[in-house]
Structure 1
Amino acid sequence: MQNIAGVGLGLRRELIDDYLQAEHVPDFIEVAPENWLGLGGRHAKQFAACVERTALFCHGLSLSIGGPHPLNLEFIGQIKQFLKQHQALLYSEHLSYTHDGGYLYDLLPIPMTEAAVSYVAERILKVQDILGQRLVIENVSTYVMPAAEMTEAEFVVAVLQAADCELLLDVNNVYVNSINHGSDAQAFIRAMPPERVRYLHIAGHQQISADLLIDTHGAAINDPVWELLRATYQHIGVRPTLLERDFNIPTWQQLQSELQQIQQLQQEAGDV
């Protein structure tokens, strides 16, 4: 599978016109395949035009890899076809669950237990067998940690090893969880096996109180998250890094400024 370096942007429909008109575009774009499956007409043509300009990563929302209900095999088959049709370079999903007899439209935490490691790994292995490629799982932001028997870092690493899958390391989620749960963000990053990290996410969040942050993807990235990204590059090396912005969408120029900040940190890390 082709490797992509550099910076990427989560492609929202509000950004498509600017993206298609831009002289220079990011090294890759990322979309949720659920938002594009089965679309035709103008939207399908726009999407095809976007994919022609740069590499495509797919980041799912509905797999519910840690959920209590059976995997939706028909849906996984649709994802496989979508990845092939659009020559997507990878497929990532959240280490959480989103389905409990109906889609919950939220990313709910998996109990961090040895039993959950085995359960989730078995489901990841099944998905990988169907897709014929490794799944890339993302560490998620959480606001409670039900029935935890191990740390989040231990849980993530155990799943990576048991399922032989890859990691989408979300730097903002690491920071959010460090505030919400009083954990050490730098220690979490250092615990991640560099050889498993396929790419990174970075985003902004909302501060509700001194000890509660909400992962909104609706604000500019703040200084502590920039510094954690710098530390991440120092630990694992430079990886493709995607800027997420889902709400309060700023101008294309403002997004370019944040992408340039990511590039600057990548260049600095590459010079070390």
Structure 2
Amino acid sequence: MASLQEIRGAGLGLKRELIPQLKQQHGTALLEYLQFVEIAPENWIGAGGKYAVELEWFAQRYPMACHGLCLSLGGPDPLNVAFLSQLKQFLSDFEIPIYTEHLSYCSDASHGYMYDLLPIPFTEEAVHYVAQRIRQTQDILEQRIAVENTSFYVQAPISEMDEVSFINAVLSEADCNLHLDINNVYVNSVNFGFDAYAFLNQMPAERIVYGHMAGHLQVAPNLLVDTHGEAIITPVWQLLAHAYQTLGNFPTLLERDSHIPALKVVMQEVDQIHAYQQLAASHTDKAT
């Protein structure tokens, strides 16, 4: 097993469709700038056979981050403590330093898991509720987690503050970290008509553990859907450049979850993330 390593540079979400190509190309120029990978723990906890062997192979070669899918931090049901116990052991077994989850909810007792990320009302009551659940999660895992700003398509019916104020209030009260999704900021800015650059300017740089980049689908001029199945568009790249300029040169990972092309095509976007990071680093060096 590889020793615990810091998440840095440019990364890629580890999809099983890409595993044969990633193993074949390991050590070649194609993967020169791939520095970490991300997995959804729900898809790997308890995996046996060839999947267990594959996970071990990657754990020995790349730092890993875990990005959860089903904890439902904003949901009405009690936290899944049994899952968190499994997760704690999994993070320890594979020496994974980071666990993040969505700042949303995806389940309730009457409907089970809804396989979508639903918005939490932006209220003081919700801040206290979600922060308490994050603290409970951190107590069980015995480590800080990070929460990701999520994309959504309809606002919760009751809101007392805007999204950025809600995120900051949760981060402060829960004393947790931030998983900053650049595409989600852009998607929500179009869907709900706010300034994405002003949003980023209000993010707490010191809490960012890493970022996400992804593509989305434009359904209408004012409706974008976060599919992770399209190429990243220029305005989202520009937003990433602004984030590096204002918030620092944080690790950033490419999500590609559907319509996955050949690894050579996927790596073009990973390499572009690396190029933006190098540009931000050069600007920092010049400034000092």
Normalised TM-score (structure 1): 0.98
Q: Counterpart in 1 of 2:79?
A: 71
The answer to whether the aligner puts 1:206 opposite 2:205 as a matched pair is no
Q: Counterpart in 2 of 1:32?
A: 40
Q: Counterpart in 2 of 1:10?
A: 13
Does structure 1 retain, via aligned residues, the 8 Å contact 2:138–2:144? Answer: yes
- Bigger mean CA deviation after superposition, 48-57 or 207-216: 48-57
Q: Counterpart in 2 of 1:125?
A: 135
Q: Counterpart in 1 of 2:114?
A: 104
Does structure 2 retain, via aligned residues, the 8 Å contact 1:32–1:58? Answer: yes
Does structure 2 retain, via aligned residues, the 8 Å contact 1:16–1:50? Answer: no
Structure 2 residues not aligned, in runs of 5+: 284-288
Q: Which amino acid aligns with 1:212?
A: L
Structure 2 distance, partners of 1:156, 1:145, is 15
Report SS of the residue matched to 1:112.
Answer: coil
Q: Which amino acid aligns with 1:270?
A: A
Structure 1 distance, partners of 2:234, 2:159, is 30
Does structure 1 retain, via aligned residues, the 8 Å contact 2:75–2:107? Answer: yes
Does structure 1 retain, via aligned residues, the 8 Å contact 2:6–2:63? Answer: no
Does structure 2 retain, via aligned residues, the 8 Å contact 1:19–1:50? Answer: no
Please tell me the root mean square deviation across aligned C-alpha atoms, in Å: 0.9
Does structure 1 retain, via aligned residues, the 8 Å contact 2:151–2:188? Answer: yes
Percent identity of paired positions between Structure 1 and Structure 2: 53
Aligned with 1:191 (options 202, 212, 217): 202
Aligned with 1:19 (options 14, 18, 22): 22
Does structure 1 retain, via aligned residues, the 8 Å contact 2:84–2:140? Answer: yes
Structure 2 distance, partners of 1:150, 1:207, is 27
Q: Which amino acid aligns with 2:17?
A: E
Structure 1 distance, partners of 2:84, 2:94, is 15
The answer to whether the aligner puts 1:89 opposite 2:97 as a matched pair is yes
Structure 2 distance, partners of 1:4, 1:136, is 13
Matching of residues 33-72 of structure 1 within 5 Å: 33-72=41-80
The Cα offsets for residues 191-235 of structure 1, whole Å up to 9 and x where unpaired, read as 001001111000000000000000000001000000000000001
Matching of residues 163-174 of structure 1 within 5 Å: 163-174=174-185
Q: Counterpart in 1 of 2:286?
A: none
Q: Which amino acid aligns with 1:28?
A: F
Q: Counterpart in 2 of 1:259?
A: 270
Q: How many residues align?
A: 272
The alpha-carbon deviation at position 4 of structure 1 amounts to: 2.3
Structure 1 distance, partners of 2:49, 2:234, is 42
Structure 1 residues not aligned, in runs of 5+: none
Q: Counterpart in 2 of 1:156?
A: 167
Structure 1 runs of 4+ with >3 Å offset:
none
Structure 1 distance, partners of 2:61, 2:6, is 16
Does structure 2 retain, via aligned residues, the 8 Å contact 1:167–1:197? Answer: yes
Does structure 1 retain, via aligned residues, the 8 Å contact 2:127–2:166? Answer: yes
Report SS of the residue matched to 1:27.
Answer: strand
Structure 1 distance, partners of 2:69, 2:235, is 27
